[in-house]
Copies of this chain bind each other. A is one copy, B any other.
């Protein structure tokens, strides 16, 4: 709870492992030992159920070709996993109803997603590309899993992948300036 309080009060940049450890009354090295990094600690505070290393390995590492398709497949697999659907839904619900949760989610997505895609696309456009990808994936999550808009809600994952992969690929590696 010290971590949540510090993140909410000071934001991700403002909060430090030192300040969080001080508020919790423990040594900063203990925080790092258990959580690994400030990013991981924020993920734990948000009850983030997706392993970021898996995104790096399965989606990003094979390179830019086909990254759109791999990311859509990975994303759907997370939401289609019964043990992850509920925590992911809670994160979306909190972000929509609480401004501070929205701010933490935005900061987390921005840092994590942008950090992962910089090797693929370079620094210059990574932030805009990251937020466009997030927008497309949040849209699928909302309509397919939360609002359950048909026929998207019941469509097989392969249909959604075929429909979405080009868009995600273009958001990541394509030209974004020509209508």
Instruction: List B contacts of A128 (CB < 8 A).
Output: 151-152, 155, 159, 163
Instruction: List B contacts of A120 (CB < 8 A).
Output: none
Report A132-179 residues with CB < 8 Å from chain B CB.
132, 134-140, 142-144, 146-153, 155, 159, 161-167, 170-171, 176-179
A6 contacts the other chain (Cβ, under 8 Å)? no
Report the bound CA distance from A57 to B149 in whole Å: 25
Interface size on A, residues (CB 8 A): 49
A102 contacts the other chain (Cβ, under 8 Å)? yes
**Given A149-B135, A152-B132: A142 and B143 interface contact (C-beta under 8 Å):** no
**How many monomers of this chain does the complex have?**
2
Report the bound CA distance from A163 to B103 in whole Å: 24
Residue of B whose beta carbon sits closest to that of A136: B139
Query: What is the minimal beta-carbon distance from A65 to any residue of chain B, in angstroms?
Result: 12
Report the bound CA distance from A159 to B138 in whole Å: 19
A77 contacts the other chain (Cβ, under 8 Å)? no
Instruction: List B contacts of A139 (CB < 8 A).
Output: 134-140, 142
- A148: contacting residue among B97, B106, B146, B155, CB under 8 A: B106
Contact check, B136 vs A136: say whether CB atoms are below 8 A apart.
yes
Report the bound CA distance from A39 to B176 in whole Å: 37
> In this complex, which of A92, A136, A138 has the most chain B Cβ atoms within 10 angstroms of its Cβ?
A138
Report the bound CA distance from A92 to B127 in whole Å: 25
Name the 3 nearest CB pairs between A and B, nearest first. Answer: A139-B139, A131-B152, A135-B143
- Partner-B contacts on A (CB < 8 A): 69, 92-93, 95-97, 102-103, 105-106, 109-110, 127-128, 131-132, 134-140, 142-144, 146-153, 155, 159, 161-167, 170-171, 176-179
